[in-house]
Chains A and B, each alone.
Chain A
């Protein structure tokens, strides 16, 4: 259910949710993360730091890490759940990846309204967003912007 901009004020939090990372999800995500490769290349399972322990160790990691793009997708979900089409058409999301997310980790998506302005009759919201793991450590942090209603809708 989307939120009406009039319901949100600076300091308000978006509804949180938690995801558990698994190697199966990481493998599946990687299998669809290379859309521009040829179909015959796509058939081969990707071998990279997200799917293969040896490749991860080559880069100094202890084991495969989830793609930062999965964390990005979770924060996209946080904002899409809250703002629906206004975020999907016109929204912006910028995320810095801080800590690895591993198979077995749980991450909780958080968002809080940082700024609210009305420009030309449209609500402009700026939010802080982040993922926190089971040890309450932030694994990524970011900022989002959404205009309600979006001029693109």
Chain B
């Protein structure tokens, strides 16, 4: 997957991925809760995939699969309040012949309340046939 590798090689550890801002509406929260069939799901998945888009725009095409995710919860987002997410590349490494990328994000609302700190590990490229 040369296109993936070319983009991946350009990514640097500690690379800042900028700020993303958005508002979680009550309607979005209800849709999330419906999709996972749990009316008390209060934490939408904050800006995980958006940062892959940031990396794609910056470095070129990257295909990936989620390998690991970690959340540390502080306060659920309050509907209709603005949320700012800061993201950066925490690590990149090769293991078992595959490339991996660790992106860390911190979400804070407009009043300065910490919402969630997340770490997301991506496996770059597709799955190996033997895993299917």
- Which residues of A come within 8 Å of B, CB atoms? 19, 25, 28-29, 31-37, 49, 58-62, 67-70, 72-74, 76-77, 80-81, 87-97, 100, 152
Which residues does chain A contribute within 8 Å of B50, judged by CB atoms?
Answer: 34-37
> Which residue of B22, B41, B65 contacts A59 across the interface (Cβ within 8 Å)?
B65
Complex Cα gap A97–B123 (Å)? 11
Once the chains bind, are A90 and B41 in contact (CB under 8 Å)? no
B63 within 8 A of A: yes
With A33-B45, A73-B36 already in contact, the answer to whether A60 and B126 are too (CB < 8 A) is: yes
Chain A residues, CB < 8 A from B125: 59
Quick one: given A29-B35, A33-B45, A36-B22, are A95 and B126 in contact (CB under 8 Å)?
no
A contact residues around B47 at 8 Å (CB): 35-36
- Number of residues of chain B lying within 8 A (CB) of chain A: 45
B residues 23-82 in Cβ contact with A at 8 Å:
24, 28, 31-32, 34-38, 40-50, 53, 63, 65-76
- Assess A69 versus B127: contact at CB under 8 Å? Given A33-B49, A36-B20: no
- Decide: B37 and A88 in contact? CB cutoff 8 A: no
A59 to B131, CA, bound (A): 12
How many Å lie between the Cα of A94 and that of B37 in the bound state? 21
Contact partners of B75 in chain A: CB under 8 A: 89, 152
B residues lining the A interface (CB < 8 Å): 20-22, 24, 28, 31-32, 34-38, 40-50, 53, 63, 65-76, 85, 119, 125-129, 132
Given known contacts A68-B66, A92-B71, A97-B67, A29 and B36 CB-to-CB distance under 8 angstroms: yes
Q: Name the residue on B nearest A94 (C-beta).
A: B70
Pick the residue among A31, A67, A87, A90 that contacts B66 (CB under 8 A): A67
- Interface of chain A, helix or strand or loop or mixed? mixed
Closest chain B CB from A77 CB (angstroms): 5
B41 and A77 contacting across the interface, CB-CB below 8 Å = yes
Chain A, residue nearest B70 (CB):
A94
Q: Which of A36, A61, A76 has the most CB of B within 10 A?
A: A36
Interface residue from A37, A72, A74 paired with B69 (Cβ < 8 Å)? A72
Nearest chain A CB to B86 CB, angstrom units: 12
> In the complex, what distance in Å separates the CA atom of A83 from the CA atom of B127?
35
A35 and B44 contact, Cβ closer than 8 Å, known pairs A69-B66, A93-B71? yes
